[in-house]
A = this chain, B = another copy of it.
């Protein structure tokens, strides 16, 4: 058994990945980039096109919008999203900042819902992914894991520094996570993007285990997120919103 039981699917994934980066590409171009024969690339592309996932136009190929269809479907299918969505919207309105529902997946923080108070403020992209140790929401996710699970994260993912404020050593991370569980809140002060701060509160599944379902978060520029607003006002709002989601999630 190799790493990928169905090898050809892996090749397909590489083709998709390449199209994701290049936005549009030709057969030879992809063949060179991926070190695969032209014929093989061609086969994968026509397969993908038949499947309605890729669009071809005059010998150029690009990804179609079926991914969006599937992705939104997956997102809308999450009960956490259904319940948390109104709170995300409400938070955006009451705080005047960007807000999001963040969900852990494959050791990354995924923005499953994003809302902004002012339109055309698209700094955080829906569906984008960030490292767990460099965002408030991500730290919430880590904080509610066992110490071994956190160690495993450090081991496999590593603590790559995104800015010069990113937590990048093990002990610092552990003390930070301790403070997160203590307060039931996490902060990020320019640890992912310079001049960008965020607050996040956990949403736990009340039912069986107290496993973490996700996190609500508020994000904004350091100029606006500071002092009492950052330390007290926003935390209070995020926390109570998260609590409401937990309650409704429990039933």
CB distance from A107 to the nearest CB of B (A): 10
Q: How far is the CA of A9 from the CA of B6 in the complex (A)?
A: 9
Asked if A5 and B67 sit within 8 Å, CB to CB, the answer is no
A60 within 8 A of B: no
Which residue of A5, A42, A62 has the most chain B CB atoms within 10 A of its CB atom? A5
CB distance from A248 to the nearest CB of B (A): 15
Partner of A75, one of B16, B46, B65: B65
CB-defined interface of A62-77 with B at 8 Å, one 1/0 digit per residue? 1111111111111111
Partner of A74, one of B9, B44, B67: B67
A226 within 8 A of B: no
Which chain B positions have C-beta within 8 A of A103? Answer: 65
A96 within 8 A of B: no
Count class of interface residues, chain A? 35 or more
A3 within 8 A of B: yes
CB distance from A45 to the nearest CB of B (A): 9
Which chain B positions have C-beta within 8 A of A106? Answer: 52, 55, 64
Partner of A5, one of B3, B44, B120: B44
Show the binding face of A for B, using Cβ within 8 Å.
Answer: 3-6, 8-13, 16, 20, 23, 42-44, 46-48, 50-53, 55, 62-77, 85-86, 89, 93, 103, 105-106, 110, 112, 119-120, 125-129
Instruction: Give 12 pairs: A residue, B residue, CB < 8 Å, sorted on A.
Output: A5-B47, A6-B8, A6-B12, A9-B9, A9-B44, A9-B48, A64-B105, A65-B127, A67-B74, A68-B71, A73-B125, A93-B119
